[in-house]
Amino acid sequence: MENLVVTIIARDQPGLVESIAQCVATHGGNWLDSRMSRMAGQFAGILRIAVPETSLQVLVLALQDLQRQGIRVQVANSTAEIARDTREVLLRLIGNDRPGIVRDITRLLVEEGINLDELDTWVAPAPMSNELLFHAEARLAVPAELSLPNLREHLETLADELMVELQVPAD
């Protein structure tokens, strides 16, 4: 079996995911994992598909042919993940919305050798003031040799500079 990672983007409409699922199933693919979301009238997603090597090229062509329906598709062959000696850390952030929050947090993560496995962000009005608050939830792959207390200290220093509330679970 081969694994494909497929990204899609299209104008949001009913039946969009069904069209993609039908294409995958018709051409011998098995839908394994996906993350999909509607945002500002557009629908975007990423999915992982397993497909027999004998059906690979036909499935790729069929997925690319979805362009006729207004579904932009990009396909990449997936390779096995490299085993990393890491531990999962969940990070939550909330603060007044302003440009640069994601840039500043991810810069610190890169400096610490941390991989960002998953990131969800959104802006919503504060309950009492209706002021826009930026929210982020991230799943981090932290190198095993990195001290969590030191990481927490660096993140808290940055949170103070950004004037945001940051939650990192204790060891």
**In angstroms, how far is the first alpha carbon of the chain from the final one?**
39
Q: Taking all residues of the chain, what is their mean pLDDT, rounded to a whole number?
A: 92
Residue 128 to residue 74: CA distance in whole angstroms: 43
Structure confidence by residue, pLDDT tens digits, 78-104: 876 666 799 999 999 999 999 999 999
State the pLDDT at residue 169.
73
Residue 4, pLDDT score? 96
- Residues 92, 160, single domain; the answer is yes
- The reply to whether 41 and 58 lie within a common domain is yes
Give the range of the structural domain holding residue 14, as residue numbers without chain letter: 2-77
Tell me: do 135 and 93 sit in the same domain: yes
106 and 60, same structural domain? no
Six-digit token string for 87:
């531990």
Q: How far apart are CA 56 and CA 54, in angstroms?
A: 6
- Nearest to residue 28, comparing CAs of 64, 52, 1? 52
Q: Is a pLDDT exceeding 70 seen at residue 171?
A: no
Is the pLDDT at 106 greater than 80? The verdict is: yes
pLDDT of residue 82: 62
* Residue range 21-65, pLDDT digits in tens: 999 999 999 999 999 999 999 999 999 999 999 999 999 999 999
Domain count, the chain: 2
